[in-house]
Amino acid sequence: MKQRWQDTAFDIVNTAVLTMLMIATIYPFLYVLAFSLNDAVDSMRGGLTIWPRKFTLANYGVIFRYDALVDASIMSVLRTVIGTVASVLCTAMLAYSLCKKELFGYKFFNSFFIMTMFIYGGLIPTFILFKTIHIYNSFWVYIIPGLISAFNMILLRTNFKSIPDSLIESAYMDGANDIYVFFRIVLPLSTPIIATIGLFVAVGQWNSWQDTLFFTVDGKLQTLQYVLMKILNQTEAGAMINQMKASLARRGMVKVTPEAVKMAITMIATVPILCVYPFIQKYFVKGMLLGSVKG
Partner 1 sequence: MNQIPGGLAPSAPPMQQRSRAWRTIKKQRILLLFCVPFAIWAAIFCYAPIWGWIMAFQDYNAGKGVTGSPWVGLKHFRAFFQEEMLVTLLRNTIAISVMNIVVGTFGAVTLALLLNEVKGVFFKRTVQTVSYLPYFISYVVVANLFLTLLSPSDGTVNRILLKLGIIDEPIFFFAEPHLFWFLVVFINVWKSIGWDAIIYIAAMSAVDTELYDAASVDGAGRWRKMWHITLPCIRPTIVVLLILSASGILNAGFDPSYLLGNPMVYDYSEVIDTYVYRMGLGNAMYSYATAIGLFRLVVSLIILYIVNRIAKRLGEENVL
Q: Which of residues 86-145 bind partner 1 (CB under 8 A)?
A: 90, 93-94, 96-98, 100, 102-104, 109, 112-113, 115-116, 119-129, 131-133, 144-145
**Binding segment toward partner 1, per CB under 8 A, in 56-64, 155-163, 244-252, 263-271:** 263-271
**Binding segment toward partner 1, per CB under 8 A, in 60-68, 154-162, 244-252, 259-267:** 259-267
Bridge partners, residue 38, by sequence: 55
Q: Which parts of 9-28 interact with partner 1 (CB under 8 A)?
A: 10-11, 14-15, 17-18, 21-22, 24-28
User: Judged by CB under 8 A, which of 7, 67, 169, 218 binds partner 1?
Assistant: 7
Q: Measured from the CB of residue 161, what is the shortest distance to partner 1 in angstroms?
A: 15
**Cα distance between residue 29 and residue 99, in whole Å:** 43
Does residue number 207 form part of the binding site for partner 1 (CB under 8 A)?
Answer: yes
From 262, 260, 254, 253, select the one nearest 227 (Cα to Cα). 262
Helices (H), the chain: 5-36, 40-43, 58-65, 67-98, 106-115, 123-132, 150-161, 165-173, 178-180, 187-189, 191-207, 210-215, 224-232, 234-249, 258-293
Q: Measured from the CB of residue 151, what is the shortest distance to partner 1 in angstroms?
A: 13
Residue closer to partner 1 (CB basis): 45 or 249: 45
Q: Which parts of 19-78 interact with partner 1 (CB under 8 A)?
A: 21-22, 24-29, 31-32, 35, 46-48
Residue 100 dihedral angles phi and psi, to the nearest 5°: -105, 110
Residue closer to partner 1 (CB basis): 109 or 139: 109
Residue closer to partner 1 (CB basis): 188 or 291: 291
Instruction: State CA 125 to chain mean position distance.
Output: 26
From 266, 173, 164, select the one nearest 225 (Cα to Cα). 266
**Cα distance between residue 127 and residue 290, in whole Å:** 40
Length reported for the chain: 295
Does residue number 163 form part of the binding site for partner 1 (CB under 8 A)?
Answer: no
Does residue number 292 form part of the binding site for partner 1 (CB under 8 A)?
Answer: yes
